[in-house]
Amino acid sequence: MIEYIDSHCHPNDESLLVRFDEVVGNAFAADVRTMLFIGWDLESSKKAVQLAEKYDGCYAAVGFHPENLEGVSDDALLEIKDLCKNPKVVAIGEIGLDYHWFKDPKDHENQKKWFVKQIELANELNLPVSIHARDASGDTLALLKKHPVNAKGVLHCYSGSVETMRELLKLGYYFGFDGPITFKNAKEPKACVAEIPLDRLLSETDSPYMAPTPLRGTVNEPKNIPLIVSAMAEIKGIPIGDIAEAIRRNFAELFRVKQ
């Protein structure tokens, strides 16, 4: 039997939270046995931890997303640090830079400031990070060179170029791919999947967002991971079981969980 992993999902989002047990049941029924629930601010991070506690194979990442910095403060970061005492917490995330929705240079500076502070927290706790980088891969690369994450991390829903991916691979990062690799016109993410070494690849849904083809436009769920992994298998010309096994090893190594 092939076992799948969703390394980045948001069942703490209202649309999935209202039927959380069903969402997890659907995932298990689809052989998606391991899930990492990702916070985007303090409340959603607390929720991610609570939800992860309910099931074996479920883990949490906690932190402030660059689009959700309104509630951020040094005190809030201390609360994030406190959450990390829970053994279900395996990463700081999602953190990073988003220049797609934020065009003002002042916002970019603020995002960088909190990205660095959260990297420092990850290093203090020796945790890896889950990184959101949208229309900001140049600055993300520069920042990660200047502020290395000791336990490394994953560029989630990677949407940058193959060239930037090569640079980030040299720094030791992993790459998560989701719905877009199943979209007909997504050339760059497919080129990245084709080139990425198997030992740096992760599968994710980013649910409830990013539903893969043929479910585009629906509320995404972790149960859809097999569609992503089968797209990876097709792009790379490697059997689906080999891809899933590589992802299992990568997840265990990066997030240091027993599989």
Q: How far is the CB of 99 from Zn ion (least distance, A)?
A: 16
Q: How far is the CB of 93 from Zn ion (least distance, A)?
A: 8
> With respect to Zn ion, which residue has the nearer C-beta, 220 or 240?
220
| Region 126-155 residues binding Zn ion, contact defined as CB under 5 A | none
| Region 189-208 residues binding Zn ion, contact defined as CB under 5 A | 206
> With respect to Zn ion, which residue has the nearer C-beta, 10 or 112?
10
Taking CB atoms within 8 Å and a gap of at least 24, the contacts of 101-105 are 101/67, 101/134, 102/66, 102/67
Please work out the total of residues on this chain that contact Zn ion, with binding judged by CB under 5 A: 1
> With respect to Zn ion, which residue has the nearer C-beta, 95 or 247?
95
Spatial separation of the C-alpha atoms in residues 253 and 255, rounded to whole Å:
6
| Region 59-118 residues binding Zn ion, contact defined as CB under 5 A | none
Q: Which residue is nearest to Zn ion (CB)?
A: 206
What secondary structure does DSSP assign to 156-212, as a single string? TT--S-HHHHHHHHHTT-EEEE-GGGGSTT-HHHHHHHHHS-GGGEEE---TTS-PP
Q: How far is the CB of 241 from Zn ion (least distance, A)?
A: 27
| Closest-CA residue to 94 (of 210, 169, 12, 187) | 12
Q: Could you list the residues that contact Zn ion (CB under 5 A)? A: 206
